[in-house]
Amino acid sequence: MPAVDVSLADVVDQLSTKYSLSADGASLTVFNVCRDCADNTTDLQVIQCNASNQHGYAFASGYLNVLRMTFCDSTLMLPSVL
């Protein structure tokens, strides 16, 4: 994979258009994912979450793997189960 030169300003711009966190903080949505993006990047990634308070912490991680192009109609998505 070729080296990618990315500035901090580019990352901040991408975060605002690429990711959305729900108001309650329970759901992360990633938009317009691609395996081999036009700008020689990829959306394959490990996403980690750490929730901490005075009683301890909970840590989880997941892998975002883009297999193929598909269409997702967000109006058909099921509500999250807590």
**Domain parsing of the chain, residue ranges:** 8-67
pLDDT score recorded for residue 55: 94
E-only strand ranges, the chain: 19-21, 28-30, 45-53, 56-64
Sign of the alpha-carbon dihedral angle for 17, 21, 22, 24: negative
pLDDT at 79 over 60: no
pLDDT in tens, 24-76: 777 778 888 888 888 888 889 898 888 888 999 998 898 989 887 666 666 65
* 3-class secondary structure, 48: strand
Look at residue 23 and give its three-state secondary structure: coil
- pLDDT tens per residue, range 45-56: 898 888 888 999
pLDDT at position 15 over 80: no
d(CA 51, CA 53): 7
